[in-house]
Amino acid sequence: MNKVGIVGYGITPFTKDDKKIESILIDSVKELFKNNSDINRNDVDAVLVSTNNNSKYLSPILSEMIGIQPKIAHSIENLCNSGTNSIVSAYSYIASGLADMVLVSGAERYDSPGSVLEWDVSRGEYKHPIFWSSIFTKSYKRKYNISEERLSMVSVKNHKQAKENPNALSNRVFTIGDVINSKQLTDDLRLLDCSRPCTGSASIILGTEEKVKKLSKEPIWITGIGQKTTSAGFTKNISFTSMDSTKQAVDTALKMSKKTITNIDVVELHDAFSVCEPLALESLGFSEDGTGVDLVKELYDTNNFKINPRGGLIGCGHPLGATGIAQTIEITQQLQSNANKRQVDNAKVGLIHNMSAAATSSTVLILEK
Amino acid sequence: MNKVGIVGYGITPFTKDDKKIESILIDSVKELFKNNSDINRNDVDAVLVSTNNNSKYLSPILSEMIGIQPKIAHSIENLCNSGTNSIVSAYSYIASGLADMVLVSGAERYDSPGSVLEWDVSRGEYKHPIFWSSIFTKSYKRKYNISEERLSMVSVKNHKQAKENPNALSNRVFTIGDVINSKQLTDDLRLLDCSRPCTGSASIILGTEEKVKKLSKEPIWITGIGQKTTSAGFTKNISFTSMDSTKQAVDTALKMSKKTITNIDVVELHDAFSVCEPLALESLGFSEDGTGVDLVKELYDTNNFKINPRGGLIGCGHPLGATGIAQTIEITQQLQSNANKRQVDNAKVGLIHNMSAAATSSTVLILEK
C-alpha cells in the first residue's frame, strides 16, 4: 500500500454565522492555499466534500470556485463522523493509486439537518441526541457511582483548553458550579455538558509520499486506520456504559500502525457530551472502566492538554461535517509542534477518535511524524 | 494495485412508487443476497450508499437492516453520477487493501431533490435540466443540420430496447411521430426526449480477486476507470455540442485498461435526454462529430442492442443514485451472456458512461470478462 500523509490544511473560526454552505466551504480552502503557496492547485486530482448539508453537487461547485478540474469529485455523509470517513476515503484513493493529492473539505451550518437523526424514531419524540446522551450519562453515573460534579470536569477542562484555540466557538472558562447550574435539559444533562452545532469549515490535503515530502516542511503520516459500524439506532448498542464500535476501531488502527495505546502522545476524541469523554477514554484503552473521569481531573489539575487540546467538541463547537477534519488538523499541528499555547510536550504519535449517533459508528486514525 | 471485480448484484423494477428510501434501498440488497446465496454477508466490510436523498446515516441504517456490522459505512452524492462515483470509491477501498468486499447500494425516490440543481441559478428560473438540454439540442441540431426526426430515433430505439428489460419504467414502443407529437416542453424538447425521475434501487458487491474467483461463477473485472469534473454550472462548458468531461474520462479509462474504443462490444451511456446519446457517442469516440444520430439509426435498423441495451435512461427511467449502478449491472450481465433478449453477441469488453449536470462531470468504466 502506498504511504499517505498530510500536505497542508486550513480551518475557519467556528461561529453561529448564517452563511451559505458554499461560502463556508471556500473559506477554509482559501486558508489552506494561503498557508501552502507551494501547492499547485491543478495537481489536486480529487475533491471530497464532507457535510450533512442538503445541497447537491458541492464538490464540483467547490472545484469550480477554486478554479480546478479534478478527476474524482463527490460528497460524503455519515452524520458526525463524515469528516474522518472522508479522510479514510481520500486515503484509499491515494493508497490505491487512483489519485496523488486529494482535497478533503468539511463544512456545516449551525442549523445542520444532521443534528437530529430523523430515522431513529423508535423512541417517539426522543430522537434528539440529548436523549441518548442522557441515558448514557445516567447509566454511567449509576454503574460507577460518578457524581455530577466529577463528570462536569470534562466541560470545565475542555472549555479551558478551547480558550487557547482562536478558532473555538467558546472563549469562556467555567467552574464546576457553572456547569451544574447551567440550564437543565434532561434529568442528567445540563447545557454546558453539550457540544453545540455551529458554522465552520476545515480542509486538508492528503498526498502520496512523494507529494508530502516535496510540499510539507514537516511531514505527518497516517499510519493507522480503524472503523466500525455496530448499528444505526442506538438502542441496538450492547452497552450504555462503553463504546463498542470505538473499541473495535481502535484495535484495528493500533494493529495497522504497530503501536499500543501507551505510545499515543496526544488525542482528539469525540466529546459530543460530557459523558462521551470518559467513555471514549475507557473504550480507547487510556483508562480502566469507570476511571476516565479521574484521568480528566488529573489532566486538568496538571494543565496537561493531552486529551482534546483544541477544546473538544464541547469547547470548539461541532460543525458536523468539519469536526473530524478539524480534529485531524489539530493532531497534525501538535505533531508539527505548531499548536502554540495548546502544545503537548514531545508529541510524536497522535490519535483521532470521531463517532456518530451514540457511538453506533466510530473512526480511529493514528498519525505519526 | 489489487485486481477488483464484481461478486454479485441485485436490482429492483424502476417505478413511480411512493416508498421510503430505506425500503427502496433494502429491496435491491435482498435481491442481491437471494441471487448470491454463497456470499457470507458478514464478510462485507464496507457499505456505500449512493443517493441524492436528504435522509442521513443511510449506510448504517441499511447495514442494520441487513444485519451486518461493516467497517466502512457512508453515503456518497454527486447528482446523476453518484452511482459510478460510489463504484470507483469501492474500487479504491479494495485496491488499497482497506476492504475485501464492498456493497454499493444506490437508491432514489421519484421526487429526488437531485433532479434540479438549486445552486445553478445563473439563469434565473432556468435551473431545471430541461433548459440545458434544450440549449444542447438547439446547438447540436443547428451545428450539424440535424432534424427533429433524426434525433427522435434515440427515444424510439431506447424505448424499443427497454421493452426487453423487465425492470424498465417504460414497456411501450413509440414511433418517430409519437416522439415529435409528444408534449412540447421547450422549443427543442418533447416529453419523450426526456428520461424520467423514478423510484428504484440497484446494488452491487465488488471484491478482491480472491473473493471474485471464489464467489462469482463468471468473474467480471473493472479494468479501466476515468473521471473528470470540468465545472459545476453548465455555462462554464467550453462547448454545447460535445462533452469535454466525457472525452477526458474515456481517454483515462481506455489507457488504464489498455484498450481502444474499437475494442468495446457493449455500452451503457448517459442518455438523460435524446441529444445526450449522439453527443456521448461522439465524445466517447464511437462516431465522428455530427454523425452519432446515424449510428443510432443503423443500430435500430439492424436490431443491434450494442448501445444502451437495457433501454438507457430514457427507457428505464432515471433513479439518480441507482442509475450508474444499474448501468454497471447491465454491462456485467452482458459480459456474462446473461442479458436474455437484450444480449449483444460475443460481448467481452463493456463500457459504462455516467455523467451529471450537463456533462460537467463524467465517469467512464471499462469492464472485462
Nearest to A75 among B60, B72, B78 (CB): B78
Q: Which of B53, B56, B112 to mutate to test the interface with A (most CBs of A within 10 A)?
A: B56
Cα distance between residue A49 and residue A36, in whole Å: 20
Q: pLDDT grade, residue A363 (50/70/90)?
A: very high
Cα distance between residue A278 and residue A144, in whole Å: 11
Cα distance between residue B242 and residue A71, in whole Å: 18
DSSP assigned state of B183:
P
Amino acid at A306: K
Q: Is A337 helix (H, G, I), strand (E, B) or coil?
A: coil
Average pLDDT over residues B233-246: 86
Of 1.10.3720.10, 3.40.50.720, 3.40.47.10, 3.40.980.10, the CATH number of A4-114+197-215 is: 3.40.47.10
Distance, in angstroms, between B340 CA and closest chain A CA? 34
Q: Which residues contact B42 (CB under 8 A, 6 or more apart)?
A: B68, B69
Q: Which of A77, A82, A222, A365 to mutate to test the interface with B (most CBs of B within 10 A)?
A: A77
One fold for both A4-114+197-215 and A221-368? yes
- CB of B108 closer than 8 Å to CB of B322: yes
Q: How many CB pairs under 8 A join A and B?
A: 179
**In the predicted model, is pLDDT for residue B36 greater than 70?**
yes
Task: Show the cell assigned to B280.
Answer: 456521448
Across the interface, whether the CB atoms of A57 and B78 are under 8 A apart is answered: yes
Q: Which pLDDT value is given to residue B34? A: 97
Average pLDDT over residues B296-320: 98
Q: pLDDT grade, residue A118 (50/70/90)?
A: confident
In chain B, what residues touch A95 (CB-CB under 8 Å)? Answer: 92, 96-98
Tens-place pLDDT, residues B90-132 = 999 999 999 999 999 999 999 999 888 777 665 556 678 998 9
Q: pLDDT grade, residue A298 (50/70/90)?
A: very high
Residue B182, classified by CB atoms within 10 Å of its CB into exposed (0-12), middle (13-18) or buried (19+), is: middle
Q: pLDDT grade, residue B256 (50/70/90)?
A: very high
**Is A274 or A125 the better-scoring residue by pLDDT?**
A274
Q: A 35-64 residues with CB below 8 A of B?
A: 47, 52, 54-57, 59-61, 63-64
Q: pLDDT grade, residue A56 (50/70/90)?
A: very high
User: Cβ of B263 under 8 Å from any chain A Cβ?
Assistant: no
In chain A, what residues touch B77 (CB-CB under 8 Å)? Answer: 56-57, 74-75, 77
Q: Which residues contact A247 (CB under 8 A, 6 or more apart)?
A: A283, A284
User: Cβ of B22 under 8 Å from any chain A Cβ?
Assistant: yes
Residue of A nearest to B362 (CA): A71
Q: Which pLDDT value is given to residue B239? A: 85
What's the mean per-residue pLDDT of chain B?
96
**In the predicted model, is pLDDT for residue B319 greater than 60?**
yes
Tens-place pLDDT, residues A318-337 = 999 999 999 999 999 999 99
Q: Is B66 helix (H, G, I), strand (E, B) or coil?
A: helix
Nearest to B1 among A97, A231, A232 (CB): A97
- CB of A183 closer than 8 Å to CB of A224: no
Nearest to B360 among A60, A97, A233 (CB): A60
Q: Which pLDDT value is given to residue A127? A: 75
- CB of B103 closer than 8 Å to CB of B33: no
Cβ atoms within 10 Å of B172's Cβ, excluding its own: 12
Q: B 330-359 residues with CB below 8 A of A?
A: 356-357
What does residue B189 show for φ and ψ, rounded to 5 degrees? -135, 130
Across the interface, whether the CB atoms of A91 and B79 are under 8 A apart is answered: no
- Angle, alpha carbons A353-A149-A188 (nearest 5°): 70
Which among B205, B157, B184 has a CA at the least distance from the CA of B35? B205
Q: Which pLDDT value is given to residue B126? A: 67
Task: Show the cell assigned to A193.
Answer: 455538558
Average pLDDT over residues A6-10: 98
Residue B24 parent element (H or E): helix B21-35
Q: Which of A79-83, A334-338, B117-121, B267-271 has the lowest mean pLDDT?
A: B117-121
Cα distance between residue A347 and residue A92, in whole Å: 26
Residue of A nearest to B112 (CA): A56
Cβ atoms within 10 Å of A123's Cβ, excluding its own: 14
Across the interface, whether the CB atoms of B73 and A78 are under 8 A apart is answered: yes
Distance, in angstroms, between B97 CA and closest chain A CA? 7
Cα distance between residue B286 and residue B60, in whole Å: 41
Q: Which pLDDT value is given to residue B334? A: 98
Which among B210, B224, B256, B220 has a CA at the least distance from the CA of B5? B220
Across the interface, whether the CB atoms of B229 and A47 are under 8 A apart is answered: yes
Which among A267, A362, A258 has a CA at the least distance from the CA of A308? A267
What does residue B232 show for φ and ψ, rounded to 5 degrees? -115, -50
User: Cβ of B92 under 8 Å from any chain A Cβ?
Assistant: yes
Q: Which pLDDT value is given to residue A121? A: 63
Average pLDDT over residues A202-228: 97
Class of domain A221-368: alpha beta
Across the interface, whether the CB atoms of A228 and B69 are under 8 A apart is answered: yes
Q: Which pLDDT value is given to residue A1? A: 66
CATH of domain B117-194+223-368: 3.40.47.10
pTM exceeding the 0.80 threshold for the entire prediction: yes
- Angle, alpha carbons B57-B59-B62 (nearest 5°): 110
Which among B195, B202, B203 has a CA at the least distance from the CA of B316? B195
Distance, in angstroms, between B59 CA and closest chain A CA? 8
Task: Show the cell assigned to A10.
Answer: 486550513
What's CA A334's distance to the chain center, in Å? 15
Residue B278 parent element (H or E): helix B276-284
**In the predicted model, is pLDDT for residue B203 greater than 80?**
yes
What's the mean per-residue pLDDT of chain A?
96
Distance, in angstroms, between A269 CA and closest chain B CA? 19
State what percent of residues in chain A have pLDDT above 90.
Answer: 92
Across the interface, whether the CB atoms of B77 and A56 are under 8 A apart is answered: yes
Of 3.40.50.300, 3.30.465.10, 3.30.830.10, 3.40.47.10, the CATH number of B4-114+198-219 is: 3.40.47.10
Task: Show the cell assigned to B161.
Answer: 430496447
Q: Which pLDDT value is given to residue A251? A: 98
Task: Show the cell assigned to A107.
Answer: 463544512
Q: What's the Cα-to-Cα distance from B81 to each of A218, A265, B280, B321, B325, rounded to whole Å?
A: 37, 42, 15, 7, 9
Q: B 66-85 residues with CB below 8 A of A?
A: 69-79, 82, 85
Tens-place pLDDT, residues A22-49 = 999 999 999 999 999 999 999 999 999 9
- Whether the CA torsion A58, A63, A66, A67 is positive or negative: it is negative
Q: Which pLDDT value is given to residue A238? A: 74
Tens-place pLDDT, residues A119-170 = 766 555 667 899 899 999 999 999 999 999 999 999 999 999 999 999 999 9
Q: pLDDT grade, residue B339 (50/70/90)?
A: very high
Q: Which residue in this structure is represented by grid cell 440497484?
A: B202
Polymer length in residues for chain A: 369
Distance, in angstroms, between A318 CA and closest chain B CA? 17
Residue A134 parent element (H or E): helix A129-144
Q: Which residue in this structure is represented by grid cell 464484481?
A: B6
Residues facing residue B268 across a β-bridge: B352
Nearest to A89 among B63, B89, B227 (CB): B89
Q: Which pLDDT value is given to residue B289? A: 97
Q: Which pLDDT value is given to residue B236? A: 75
Q: Which of A49, A56, A61, A89 to mutate to test the interface with B (most CBs of B within 10 A)?
A: A56
Task: Indicate the domain borders of chain A.
Answer: 4-114+197-215, 221-368
Cα distance between residue A226 and residue A160, in whole Å: 30
What's CA B229's distance to the chain center, in Å? 17
Cα distance between residue A279 and residue A180, in whole Å: 20
